Structure 1
Amino acid sequence: MTDDAALPFFVYGTLRRGQRNHGRYLHGHCERVEPAELAGAALYEGPGYPYAVADPDPGRRVRGELVTVRAGDFAQVLAELDELEGCRPDGRGLYVRRPLPVTASLAAPGTARVTAWVYLAGPDLTTRLRATDPVLIPSGDWTAR
């Protein structure tokens, strides 16, 4: 899989509908938005935004939305989201973008696992924020914290 494959995005914080960055970066570019969750990750409160990190606890989940961007808008949205998230090709940015399995809860019938781009806290951010005794969001849902 290439680093720019046209996958949906799993968003869990300020890019969700109703949050401050959705209108600027995603509104008008979405083909579909549906509830979803990412297993094997924990969600923490950051300085004004959340960050997700891989977590070995199989019960941990991050709740968010699976966003499918219109094909003609994908390259632009990908570039803008990478810039917003401080995603760098060397993997040392604020966030890193990874293709991960996500469970979409509105896919017909029942639920479906799909591969989506997920922005996880980069290694430096994870180290820095964990050193400050971060606040876990137990529900895994930024909007319900």
Structure 2
Amino acid sequence: MSASDEDLPFFVYGTLRSGGRNHAVHLAGRCADIRPAVLEGAALHAGPGFPYALPDATPGRRILGELITVRPGAYAGALADLDLLEECRADGTGLYVRRRLAVRTAAGGSRDAWVYLAGPAVAARLRERPALIASGDWADR
């Protein structure tokens, strides 16, 4: 991971959003900034208890979430905790994969962020049997 990757914010769209159960456990007290954001070109799917993001070129598809900037001193621990929570494996075979993607903030700017997308096995299952949340908002599930 390069030095510029180390300060990337996280785009969160499910239980890691402020007020969510995993936010309270893994991010509360570590955040320097939280702001509304949108991931364009992706679709949100409901899984058994978890949201999954999948790239989706369908016009208008987007996921609503938050852009979370973690305090520098808390970043390494937060990244490790989130990778563990999301079962994100270095070989790309985990429940989720972490990708650097551009997200749009509510103010209209764009920022690269870490986004956890459905891993290969989950993505294949969701492509066969979609569980789309049409609004792109986990709160609407």
What TM-score comes out, normalization by structure 2 length?
0.94
Aligned partners of 1:58 and 1:78: how far apart in 2? 32
Pick from 95, 112, 128: which aligns with 1:115?
112
The Cα shift of 1:58 comes to 3.3
Does structure 2 retain, via aligned residues, the 8 Å contact 1:46–1:134?
no
Name the structure 2 match of 1:33. Answer: 34
Name the structure 1 match of 2:10. Answer: 9
Look up the equivalent residue of 2:74 and give its one-letter code: D
Q: Which runs of 4+ in 1 moved over 6 A?
A: none
Aligned partners of 1:144 and 1:122: how far apart in 2? 23
Name the structure 2 match of 1:140. Answer: 136
Aligned partners of 1:72 and 1:137: how far apart in 2? 35
Name the structure 2 match of 1:130. Answer: 127
Gaps of 5+ in 2: none
What TM-score comes out, normalization by structure 1 length?
0.91
Give a deviation string over 1:32-84, Cα, whole Å, max 9, x none. 00000000000000000110000011310000000000000000000000000
Gaps of 5+ in 1: none
Give matches, 1:55-74, under 5 Å: 55-74=56-75
Does structure 2 retain, via aligned residues, the 8 Å contact 1:29–1:73?
yes
| Residue-pair matches, total | 140
Alpha carbon RMSD of aligned pairs, Å?
1.4
CA gap of 1:128–1:135, structure 2 versus 1, over 3 A, is: closer
Counting helix residues as a fraction of each chain, which structure ranks higher? 2
Question: SS at 2:82's partner residue?
Answer: helix
The Cα shift of 1:142 comes to 0.1
